[in-house]
Amino acid sequence: MSDESQYIEKAKQGNHAAFRRLYDAHITPLYRFMRQFEGNSDQVEEWVQRAFIKAYINIGQFEKSAKFSTWLFRLALNEMKMDRRTMAIIPLETVYDEDYSSVNTNEEFEWNDLMKAWLAELSETKRMVFLLYEVEGYSHAEIARMLGLGESTSRTILARTKQFLQTQWQKSREI
Amino acid sequence: MKPDEFYRNSDLPTPKAQERMWNTIENEISEKQNGKSIFFLHKRSFIYGAAASIILMLATYGMYSGIERSLANSRPDDIKFDVAYRSAIKELEKVVPAVEKTVVNTQNADILETRKEQIAMLDTEISVLQRDSKRGDLSGLKQAKLRQLYRQKLSILQEMIENGEIPL
């Protein structure tokens, strides 16, 4: 049994110290990811706190086969979506599964720091898929579960996002 | 790409912020846990209490229903709103079980699962506030929060219908 699984089992029995270990392991990745979608750090703290509280309350239902971080990210994203829905800041994007077979998902891609500005122009869903896959290292299956998308949709969104960044990069070099 | 190549220092939580967040989380989970243990410690008293309450409730039911009828037309707007929201949600929920049977095996299963999770979370929060409401412990702020939760739930169900996630 891994350390994390042991902490989860102990947290299920109400052990706060074990839950603190889980918190320490996941707070930074979760916070830095959520920070990309909200300028107000107090709001980010609020979502992150609520996600951890819900994780603790519902940890009894957490399946051993699942990944704790995937579950935690999904809880935090749900908190963000619910608040945004209430505040009506932006309409939630609905992404439908389509036939994306024409999109080349194997194209080579090299990150450049300049791309950050172009990435910021894209929709939240596109940025989320890109960050979760390219930066945080999640699989498309995990991203699909977190964002409520089809796995193929996640692949296509990533390919299109990379394509867009690559094109912008080439354009900037031609100037 | 490594996370360090993408994120700036300003994207990371400071040690102070991490500690502050943990303190809030720990306070919250301790409160909830204490509530739970008190419930189990006093389970027997709770059961006797509940039985006594049921007897009292039955005895006062006749009286209450008469008062309820006479007050129905003079209810404050807040209560009318709550009743209206609850009945609207009940009507929409009548079609929800159909979704689980029809969508669960399709590529929309993930979306459905997320929706179900959102609704379950809202239900939990709504039931807590409804309990307070029944105890008469519902401040103006809590009433506003309850209505906000009803609105969120309605909007999720509405969105599910509009997106065709619920076959009509």
Mark yes or no for CB contact B3/A20 under 8 Å: no
CA–CA dist A117, A110 (Å, integer): 15
ipTM for the predicted complex: 0.82
| Greater pLDDT, A73 or B149 | A73
To the nearest whole percent, how much of chain A has pLDDT over 70? 86
Nearest residue on chain B to A22, alpha-carbon basis: B22
Mark yes or no for CB contact A150/B108 under 8 Å: yes
Please indicate if any CB of chain B lies within 8 Å of the CB of A40.
Answer: no
Please indicate if any CB of chain A lies within 8 Å of the CB of B114.
Answer: yes
Task: Name the packing angle between helices A41-57 and A68-87 (round to 10°).
Answer: 130
Mark yes or no for CB contact B11/A35 under 8 Å: yes
Enumerate the domain spans of chain A: 1-91, 105-175
Residue A104 in 3-state DSSP? coil
CATH code linked to domain A105-175: 1.10.10.10
pLDDT of residue B66: 53
pLDDT of residue A143: 94
Write out chain A residues lying below 8 Å of B107, CB-based. 97, 150, 152
Q: Which helix (H) or strand (E) holds A145?
A: helix A140-147
Write out chain B residues lying below 8 Å of A54, CB-based. 121
Q: Which helix (H) or strand (E) holds B153?
A: helix B140-162
Q: How far is A159 from chain B (nearest CA, A)?
A: 15
Mark yes or no for CB contact A111/B1 under 8 Å: yes
Please indicate if any CB of chain A lies within 8 Å of the CB of B77.
Answer: no
Q: How far is A60 from chain B (nearest CA, A)?
A: 13
Mark yes or no for CB contact A48/B21 under 8 Å: yes
pLDDT in tens, chain B (168 residues): 889 889 999 999 999 999 999 999 999 888 877 665 544 445 555 555 565 566 556 555 555 555 555 555 555 666 666 777 777 777 766 665 555 555 444 456 666 777 777 778 888 888 888 777 777 666 777 777 888 888 888 877 777 777 776 666
Q: Phi and psi at residue A77, in whole multiples of 5°? A: -65, -35
What topology does CATH give the domain A1-91? Answer: Rna Polymerase Sigma Factor; Chain: A (1.10.1740)
| Greater pLDDT, B162 or A6 | A6
CA–CA dist A2, A25 (Å, integer): 13
Please indicate if any CB of chain B lies within 8 Å of the CB of A141.
Answer: no
Write out chain B residues lying below 8 Å of A147, CB-based. 114
Give pLDDT tens digits for A94-128: 554 444 555 555 667 788 888 889 999 999 999 99
